[in-house]
Structure 1
Amino acid sequence: MLAALLVVLPIFGLVLVGFAARKGGIIDEAAGAGLSQFVFAIALPCLILDTLARGDLPIAEPWGYWASYFVALGLVWLATGLLARHAFGRIGVETVVAGFSSAQSNTVLIGVPLILKAFGDAAAVPVFLLVAVHLPITMSVATLLVEGRGASILAIVRKLVTHPIIIGIAIGAAIRPVADVVPEPAWRMTGMLADAAAPAALVAMGVALARYGFEAGWPLPIAITTAKLVVHPLLVWLLASFVFPVPPAWIPVAVMFAACPAGINVFLLAQTYRSGVALASSTVALSTALAVLTMAGWLALVAP
């Protein structure tokens, strides 16, 4: 419990900084929107590029491990999106935001530190196996779902190939074979921009929360939070334990990865497309606050 608390508190603290700065008039809404745009268009693509280009990929490709995680992710995403549409009357981008919120985990800020602290160096390989593909896959799917509504195939392709996240993925994959010959100053610059993504995004979310509060109401954020913190890890555990071949030592890592609260990228997506911002900020804040308890519970259940 203490380990989870020590990881989550600084994250929630940065959200509080943005919230207090907006309420105190230190920064305005335009500054928060600009900060979000910087993260989405520059810092986050640099983070993806750096991860794909220089990350250490294992020799084996554990398809059962990936299948357990991403099949569960897809089921939760689909169910939550349908719930938002049919039970809560949300449409368009908001349904994507709802589904994305229940599936996208806050891995860099919460998942990786907590999992490595709980399971030690033995968890490094299974953790990276998910970190390397988690953000590119989820952001690509979310972008495709948003951009694909009512647009022609040519228009979708044009928007995707010019999208900052897709560009980051493409450049990272292209540079990987020659990453060693890229000058070190270029990597340092990329790394500095990547390091700015998380804190800047959290502060920007605090600014948005000061504006929207819980305008989205409580029922839908509570439903999404339950799906994220309870249903998602439960499905991963069931699939990894009884359906797909997964090394037993890797199952707790996948479960804890899924048990993380909604990631900040949910808010960035909503802010970028100016739809579902209240829902995203409410869900990220609520799931992060409750994750202190739920992640401690999951850790007690799956720890060897």
Structure 2
Amino acid sequence: MLAIFLKTLPFFGLIGLGWLAARSKLFPEEGAVWLTKFVFYFALSAMLFRFAAGLDLAALFDLRFVLAYLAGSVLIWVIGMVAARRRGLAVPEAAMEAHCGMTGNTGFLGVPMLVVLLGERAVGPVLMVLTIDMLVFSTLITLIIHASRSGGLRLAALVPILRGIVSNPMILSMVAGLIWAQMHWPTPGPLDELLALLGAAATPGALFAIGASLASKKVQRLAASAWLSFAKLVLHPLAVGVAAWLFGVEPFAAGVMVAAAALPVAGNVYILAQHFGVAQQRVSAAILISTALSVVTIPLIMLLIGQA
């Protein structure tokens, strides 16, 4: 346990350093915004392209993996939705809580950390989780809120969703990398070095940006936020792990799936909550709490999947 904790500690140390820099005002709040943009549009995109360009699309897609992750995640989504509705929350708030309880920080934390901890074999499963989260569940929450507020689902609601998908640099970089791989194009040396250099900035940049963004968040609506953190850190990996076993997912890929499901609440959930004006305080606090607790829970999950 100690060895695993020490392996994950540098990643959380970078998050803590970003938090400390922002709290002490050495790193201004707007600095976190621009650093996030750099990571999102350049560094992480370069890393994802380079990863995807080395993958075989046929080997990457595993129907059992997809169905298992969808089954486990949908179960947690439904539990979150029902729990919120039983507390008397409106549909948009309930849907946002459900989304919060199963959407992990795969892009900014999972891709850099899990690939380092679990090796290059983890690239494919991590990218599959990231793709499902972005294409399926981000679309789902947007459609539900639009339908709830407009009295039904309208075709016009699909336009911003499709625009967001096709303009998302993480999706674009993965698709471009997979196309590059399928075409068997060689990567020129200078281009590969550029991508490697830029991609190397993704891990420290993303983790520092996570910490800096947490500095402005406060713990409010503690009971609800604690429940959402519990759903994300405990229930989601448990549900996904059981689903992976039921669907017969290959053990290593199943372990990566569980580790990805154990990641804390994603920062882009707060962006959605802020955009729609729904449950911002609860989501913000859940991101802060789940990220802090994941210092302990992620090493535990890594230990468990290592023994599976």
Report the TM-score when normalising by structure 2. 0.75
Corresponding residue SS for 1:211: coil
User: Conserved in 2, the CA contact under 8 Å of 1:19 and 1:210?
Assistant: yes
Corresponding residue SS for 1:48: helix
Distance change in 2, residues 1:84/1:182 (3 Å): farther
- AA matched with 1:156: I
Deviations 1:105-141 (A, max 9, x none): 543344344446xxxxxxx64x344123122221233
| 1:290 has 2:285 as partner | no
User: Conserved in 2, the CA contact under 8 Å of 1:39 and 1:201?
Assistant: yes
Q: How does 1:147-158 map to 2 (within 5 A)?
A: 148=143, 150=146, 151-158=156-163
| 1:232 has 2:227 as partner | no
| 1:26 has 2:26 as partner | yes
| 1:169 has 2:164 as partner | no
Shift in Å, 1:72: 0.7
Number of residue pairs matched?
291
Shift in Å, 1:226: 1.3
- The 2-side partners of 1:210 and 1:248 are apart by 38
- The 1-side partners of 2:230 and 2:182 are apart by 41
The counterpart of 1:213, out of the listed 189, 198, 218, is: 218
Deviates more, 1:17-26 or 1:146-155: 146-155
Distance change in 2, residues 1:58/1:268 (3 Å): same
Gaps of 5+ in 2: 147-155
Corresponding residue SS for 2:263: coil
- The 1-side partners of 2:27 and 2:159 are apart by 40
Name 2:264's counterpart in structure 1. 262
Distance change in 2, residues 1:291/1:91 (3 Å): same
- The 2-side partners of 1:8 and 1:298 are apart by 12
- The 2-side partners of 1:180 and 1:253 are apart by 29
- The 2-side partners of 1:139 and 1:224 are apart by 19
- AA matched with 1:270: Y
- AA matched with 1:261: L
Shift in Å, 1:229: 2.2
User: Conserved in 1, the CA contact under 8 Å of 2:125 and 2:256?
Assistant: no
Shift in Å, 1:274: 4.6
- The 2-side partners of 1:94 and 1:195 are apart by 38
- The 2-side partners of 1:248 and 1:267 are apart by 29
User: Conserved in 1, the CA contact under 8 Å of 2:18 and 2:207?
Assistant: yes
Distance change in 2, residues 1:268/1:14 (3 Å): farther
Shift in Å, 1:222: 1.7
- The 2-side partners of 1:157 and 1:60 are apart by 24
Name 1:38's counterpart in structure 2. 38
Alignment RMSD: 3.5
- Runs of at least 4 residues off by over 6 Å: none
User: Conserved in 1, the CA contact under 8 Å of 2:12 and 2:295?
Assistant: no
User: Conserved in 2, the CA contact under 8 Å of 1:88 and 1:220?
Assistant: no
Name 1:133's counterpart in structure 2. 128
- The 1-side partners of 2:12 and 2:175 are apart by 32
Gaps of 5+ in 1: 117-123
- The 1-side partners of 2:60 and 2:22 are apart by 48
Name 1:55's counterpart in structure 2. 55
